[in-house]
Amino acid sequence: MIVGALMLQLPLPDGLSQEGLVVLTMSVVATILFVTEPVPLPTVALMIICAQVLLLGIDSTNVAKSLMTDSVLFIMGSLMLAVAVVKQKLDKRIAWWLVRITGTRTSRICLGISVTSGVLASFIGEHTVAAMMLPVGITLITLTSADPKKVRNLAAVLLLSIAYGCSIAGIGTPSGGARNAIMIGYWKEFFFDPTNPETYRFLIDYMKWMMFAYPIFLLQLPFVTFILFKTFRPEQHDMSRAVVKLRAQVEIEGAMKRADWMAIFLFFLILIGWITISSDIGMGTVAILGAAAFLITGLVRWEDINSGVNWGVVLLYAAAISLGVEMKNTGAALWVAEYFLALLAPLGADEGFGLWTAVSALTTMVTNTMSNGAAVAVLGPIVLKVASAAQESPIVIGFITAISSAFAYLTVVGTPACTIVYASGYLKTTDFLSVGWKMVLFSTILMLLVATVYWPFLGV
């Protein structure tokens, strides 16, 4: 609050309007509150909403309209689906299916965990899959040894396979994370004009997003296991004893029930809907329809969704997107973009590959201090204006920002998946630093390589 009050007293910089200064101040204060969390994060959302009315003089009805976009509906529906999927408790069956395919070698099991976590997380969100797969990892650890000290490195490899598998997969599809939906919303809000056919390329649908981002996720998968095994040396190279115990537990549970098959069927219908009709009716509508289907079939109760969904997260992303739109409308985003370019110019990083690298580094730094969704919500309007000012493709810069926001490997709070596996008690905060810097370096190089070699074939 003190920082905000001081900023509002500063002389108005050249090229920035009074409204732009107010919005910029709101963004800085919101970022500080995101990082330090002196109040619950949904409180920040409420403050953003009120500030738009009180400080900018925007009609409250118009502020309310800006909060409910298709991107916000999509985030809300995805969180509802996450609760429905976790409710089915398929963790032991997933573990058994996994080891039947991979065998008992520790390295192959870890790769299998990364692949399974990744493929699932790319469609239903990393926090959901991390919550589903954590019991799988803990089951394999405890069946190997009841003494955590004897499986210290094994636990690190197994659990970080889940966390990083989920993190790298979150970029794969729009439903992989809120940050993806936020960037899609920004492209539409900033660049789409229904009267101009040339701007229809900024309407990024489910399949088009996958064409850009999914190859990066797939290329990273085998290297996750390699980097983890080079950093942590597991005590056991074969997990046969744990697999035998796991098989016995699955046999006790018996065959899959009708509700299990129905849940799988509904999820595939939702996935097909995202791929085929989301460009016509919106990804948010498909997600809400899916959540309604789980409720109608009785696979989940409203009480479960009401208690399981973090409604504060929905409010937070809605307010962040609304603030991002005001960053554009008041010219604050353009002013920051031009200032950012001026700083990069002496370094030769104000265009082309240098700009890509600078945007990626900035996003990676920010996303390791706050949630990746919040990072994209804050940086999105700025980097898209940077792209326009530098005559770079906003689609390329937008994808680099969204994908780099997944490189939160260094801290426990960087991604929901890292927070969830850390909560198991098997990991230390230093474990994330030990392996995280290697993951950041590799992921950044791979993304820039794909952007240089592959993306031009997609017409950008």
Q: What pLDDT score does 212 carry?
A: 95
Q: How far apart are CA 45 and CA 206, in angstroms?
A: 28
Q: How far apart are CA 232 and CA 444, in angstroms?
A: 22
The string of pLDDT tens digits covering residues 256-309 is: 788 888 988 998 888 788 778 877 887 788 889 999 999 999 999 999 889 878
- Per-chain mean pLDDT for the chain: 83
Q: What pLDDT score does 35 carry?
A: 66
Q: Which residues, in sequence order, are CB contacts of 6 under 8 Å at separation 6+?
A: none
Using CA atoms, how far residue 239 sits from 111, 142, 225, 233, in Å, is: 14, 11, 16, 15
The string of pLDDT tens digits covering residues 127-178 is: 777 777 777 787 788 877 777 777 788 889 989 999 999 989 989 998 887 7
The string of pLDDT tens digits covering residues 315-356 is: 887 887 788 778 778 878 778 777 777 777 777 776 788 889
Q: Average pLDDT of 112-141?
A: 81
Q: Which of 364, 435, 426, 428 is nearest to 144 (CA)?
A: 426
Count how many residues are written for the chain.
460
The string of pLDDT tens digits covering residues 422-459 is: 877 788 878 888 899 999 999 999 999 999 999 999 98
